[in-house]
Structure 1
Amino acid sequence: MNSLHPNKLQAYLRPDGRKGIRNVVVVAYLVECAHHVAREITTRFRDQPVQLIGFGGCYPNAYADKMMSALCTHPNVGAVLLVSLGCESFNRVRLEAHVAASGRPVKLIGIQTTGGTKKSIDDGIAFVTTALETLQAVPVVDFDPSELVVGVVCGGSDATSGITANPAVGKAFDMIVESGGTAIFENTGEMIGLEAIMSRRAITPELAVELKRAVDKAARYYTIMGHGSFAPGNAAGGLTTLEEKSMGAYCKTGSAPISGMIKPADLPHRRGLILMDIVPDGDPRFGFPNPNDSSEIAELIASGAHCVLFTTGRGSVVGSAISPVIKVCANPETFQRMEEDMDINAGKILYNEASLDEVGKEIFDKIVSLAAGGRTCSEKLGHQEFVLGYKTFEPVGPACLP
């Protein structure tokens, strides 16, 4: 398998000109009924870059369709195997055509047509085996930090998150933007009450209005649902209110001007600091707007993130398919207990063993190292979590992408 050269920033060049820091074969199931077959194919390649994603729903959803199209043509993806039962409503033929048009090897297996479980698994294994050989010929080219797209989420937050990990990530985000890269933050549901402060950072008055509307939408959504983004674990970890959690989470954004707003699977039209609005549009239809950390990671990846930063105080072990996840641990006690899962110990800040600037630089260096063959803890441990459900979104307007 072609690999990046240690200590030299390189990437895999795709036919559309985009560059990936990973070179994986994605096996994607298109309905829950095909999940087992897809998983069985993937497990035959446990120690190779073959990863499982999928959409479990049967009736069509424009959000899921857009997400799968974006994920299967992500720059970290080199080839795609689509696994269908055959009678689901997901538009499998269109997705196959979309991937083929991107220049990637792709195959669609229909379990009903192929003849059942075993024949489909055998067909899938044969395709993946050939695809892995094909990926060895993918051109490796130089890669500059200005080409990086990096996302951030937080999960398992506690009272240390807003003091150490989140502001340290903010420093790293400033460095990404200063180097000409793209930094994407999300979760407007944890910015309620901060909309005026955030809007003042917009590069245009029109964008400022859109940022405020996005937070207002989140507040309305949570009100209708009857709960907000505040878990029992947050309280047990010392957080007192949603406002306190939101202020800590906001620190992840750094200090750069906000260049635009996107929704899941939108590709930023410009570099810089970008807000992703993850709360569905319209009245609640499919449940909680912020289901879990893994779904947020998938949304950032669908918008082109080469890697995702994950800040946590209480501790989280999730990684992701397609793009690496860097764990930034806020709490030094958590880091001590879960060191094998954590990439960065931001808790050093509490003990005056490092400054925010120093940890921010450590995070930035870790991001850059991924384009020089470096691996994250979650990658070494084999984590490939992936979640995709139902949502509804309206397209963003021109004011969001000035």
Structure 2
Amino acid sequence: MIDAWQRADGRKGIRNTVAVAYLVECAHHVARKIVDKADDADVHLIGFPGCYPNAYAARVMEAVTTHPNVGGVVIVSLGCESFDRERLQQVIRDSGRPVELYVIQQTGGTAATIAAGLEAVARVKAQIADVPRVPMRVDELIVGTICGGSDGTSGITANPAVGRAFDRLVADGATCIFEETGELVGCEGIMADRALTPELGEEIMACVRKAEEYYTIMGFGSFAPGNAEGGLTTQEEKSMGAYSKSGSSLISGIIKPGDVPPAGGLYLLDVVPDGEPRFGFPNISDNAEIVEMIACGCHLTLFTTGRGSVVGSAIAPVIKICANPETARRLAADMDINAGRILEGEATLDEVGDEIVDAIIAVAGGQPSVSEALGHREFILTYKAFDPVGPACLPVAARS
């Protein structure tokens, strides 16, 4: 049983962090100085750099600042940006979390706001120090997965091992989320066959078709030079490798960033914006995808990599699963699990899948992941636009 923090809104968190959130790039330096001077592993920096309003960014920021792993928030605003700081403050307050707001233009500038922000962090930490601890079952966990720095080993070791772990978690009633619709082109038919309803299957087909059209218009795809250098030969090969992270369970629904799944099961996260391409590459880095996972309630994220990645995340832990045994040896200090042992005949997919589940329970129970222990707290939020999901996308909601 996991020892979790009980939030006033009824959700349970596996961490008790204070988020210092800047609302425009002009406030980034001040917010970062507050976090740096606090020098506390439980105080994390998050933010949105844009000056102009964006409904997607506002929704994601509201979801992240009220994530179950967040105990309280200090908001840092310049003062003339378009982000609705009062609404964000009210959303956080309505969730039962302590929140303080500082506007640099009104507080007295850089030094004054840093000093005020440091005092605010201390007050918020004191307020959340006695948040009740309660038992948390595996079926209350939300777990996401992404892949980054993929190579020729990813689709035959780490990714399918995550799929085995997902199958076990879903069978136990947990919620699992996979994504990267731009990297699932060609897999839409087999995903549709796994859909809970025929109508959901049609939505999955449309979701991937949208991604394919988006990339076609933009003039590029998700197949990067690094993938080719790592031994991947085609987009189809990469897609099948990415798809294998989903396991073999029925797909319960499609969600978009900021949607929290309504019940346990396996969900596809649509990360490609709706409408004509306006904001460039759908996710400019792996951490943008992790932030979207967090916005959907993921307590932690499984990150598979073949060539190697060292990033982690603010707010929610990242568990690194290395696909390539050579990379695992070279970057051993940055990896949680060496799935490359499968390639060398030292472990089976099922054995590594069980190891992944054990790691999830351990990290959820308070053991820091490797990226956490190293101090990784990356966070990226940019511009996108999404339409709400239709009723066919969440048939599980209608049945619950």
TM-score (norm 2): 0.98
Contact 1:143–1:371 (8 Å) recurs in 2: no
Tell me, yes or no, if structure 1 residue 389 matches structure 2 residue 376.
Answer: no
Tell me, yes or no, if structure 1 residue 17 matches structure 2 residue 10.
Answer: yes
Tell me, yes or no, if structure 1 residue 296 matches structure 2 residue 276.
Answer: no
The secondary structure found in structure 2 opposite 1:387 is coil
What is the rounded CA distance, in whole Å, between the counterparts of 2:383 and 2:366 in structure 1? Answer: 35
What is the rounded CA distance, in whole Å, between the counterparts of 2:375 and 2:187 in structure 1? Answer: 37
1:202-281 equivalences under 5 Å are 202-281=195-274
The runs of 5 or more residues in structure 2 that have no matched partner are: 396-400
* Match in the other structure for 1:95: 88
* Match in the other structure for 2:370: 377
Residue 399 of structure 1, CA deviation: 0.5
Residue 170 of structure 1, CA deviation: 0.2
What is the rounded CA distance, in whole Å, between the counterparts of 1:59 and 1:73 in structure 2? Answer: 22
Residue 243 of structure 1, CA deviation: 0.6
Number of paired residues?
A: 395
Contact 1:29–1:55 (8 Å) recurs in 2: yes
* Match in the other structure for 2:127: 134
Identify the match of residue 312 of structure 1 among 287, 300, 305: 305
What is the rounded CA distance, in whole Å, between the counterparts of 2:41 and 2:257 in structure 1? Answer: 28
What is the rounded CA distance, in whole Å, between the counterparts of 1:24 and 1:68 in structure 2? Answer: 15
Amino acid at match of 2:72: A
Tell me, yes or no, if structure 1 residue 29 matches structure 2 residue 22.
Answer: yes
1:54-73 equivalences under 5 Å are 54-73=47-66
Tell me, yes or no, if structure 1 residue 85 matches structure 2 residue 78.
Answer: yes
* Match in the other structure for 2:143: 150
What is the rounded CA distance, in whole Å, between the counterparts of 1:194 and 1:11 in structure 2? Answer: 37
What is the rounded CA distance, in whole Å, between the counterparts of 1:223 and 1:287 in structure 2? Answer: 12
The runs of 5 or more residues in structure 1 that have no matched partner are: 1-7
The secondary structure found in structure 1 opposite 2:371 is helix
The C-alpha deviation readout for 1:235-264, integer Å capped at 9, x for no partner, is 000000111000011000000000000000
1:38-57 equivalences under 5 Å are 38-57=31-50
What is the rounded CA distance, in whole Å, between the counterparts of 2:108 and 2:38 in structure 1? Answer: 23
The C-alpha deviation readout for 1:6-28, integer Å capped at 9, x for no partner, is xx511000001100000000000
* Match in the other structure for 1:119: 112
The secondary structure found in structure 1 opposite 2:281 is coil
The secondary structure found in structure 2 opposite 1:44 is helix
Identify the match of residue 171 of structure 1 among 141, 164, 170: 164
Question: Mean Cα displacement is larger for which, 189-198 or 32-41?
Answer: 189-198
The secondary structure found in structure 2 opposite 1:141 is strand
* Match in the other structure for 1:105: 98
Contact 1:327–1:344 (8 Å) recurs in 2: yes
Residue 371 of structure 1, CA deviation: 2.5
The C-alpha deviation readout for 1:64-102, integer Å capped at 9, x for no partner, is 000000000000000000000000000000000000011
Residue 155 of structure 1, CA deviation: 0.2
Contact 2:307–2:324 (8 Å) recurs in 1: yes
Contact 1:329–1:345 (8 Å) recurs in 2: yes
The secondary structure found in structure 1 opposite 2:326 is helix
The secondary structure found in structure 1 opposite 2:38 is coil
- Percent identity between matched residues is 63
Contact 1:27–1:53 (8 Å) recurs in 2: yes
Contact 1:31–1:56 (8 Å) recurs in 2: yes
Contact 1:262–1:275 (8 Å) recurs in 2: yes
The C-alpha deviation readout for 1:329-350, integer Å capped at 9, x for no partner, is 0000000010110000000001
Contact 1:167–1:254 (8 Å) recurs in 2: yes
What is the rounded CA distance, in whole Å, between the counterparts of 2:98 and 2:216 in structure 1? Answer: 46
Residue 290 of structure 1, CA deviation: 2.6
What is the rounded CA distance, in whole Å, between the counterparts of 2:202 and 2:343 in structure 1? Answer: 37
The secondary structure found in structure 2 opposite 1:275 is strand
Amino acid at match of 2:241: G
The secondary structure found in structure 1 opposite 2:60 is helix
Tell me, yes or no, if structure 1 residue 182 matches structure 2 residue 175.
Answer: yes
The C-alpha deviation readout for 1:153-172, integer Å capped at 9, x for no partner, is 00000000000000000000
What is the rounded CA distance, in whole Å, between the counterparts of 2:271 and 2:77 in structure 1? Answer: 28
Contact 2:41–2:375 (8 Å) recurs in 1: no
The C-alpha deviation readout for 1:191-247, integer Å capped at 9, x for no partner, is 101111110000011101100000000000000000000111100000001110000
Contact 1:83–1:108 (8 Å) recurs in 2: yes
* Match in the other structure for 2:398: none
Contact 1:201–1:258 (8 Å) recurs in 2: yes
Contact 1:328–1:342 (8 Å) recurs in 2: yes
Residue 48 of structure 1, CA deviation: 3.2
What is the rounded CA distance, in whole Å, between the counterparts of 1:190 and 1:47 in structure 2? Answer: 37
The secondary structure found in structure 2 opposite 1:243 is helix
* Match in the other structure for 2:328: 335
Contact 2:140–2:174 (8 Å) recurs in 1: yes
CA RMSD across the alignment? 0.7
What is the rounded CA distance, in whole Å, between the counterparts of 2:175 and 2:39 in structure 1? Answer: 32
The secondary structure found in structure 1 opposite 2:144 is strand
Moved over 4 A (4+): none
* Match in the other structure for 2:392: 399
What is the rounded CA distance, in whole Å, between the counterparts of 1:291 and 1:214 in structure 2? Answer: 20
Amino acid at match of 1:322: I
Amino acid at match of 2:240: M
Contact 2:57–2:381 (8 Å) recurs in 1: yes
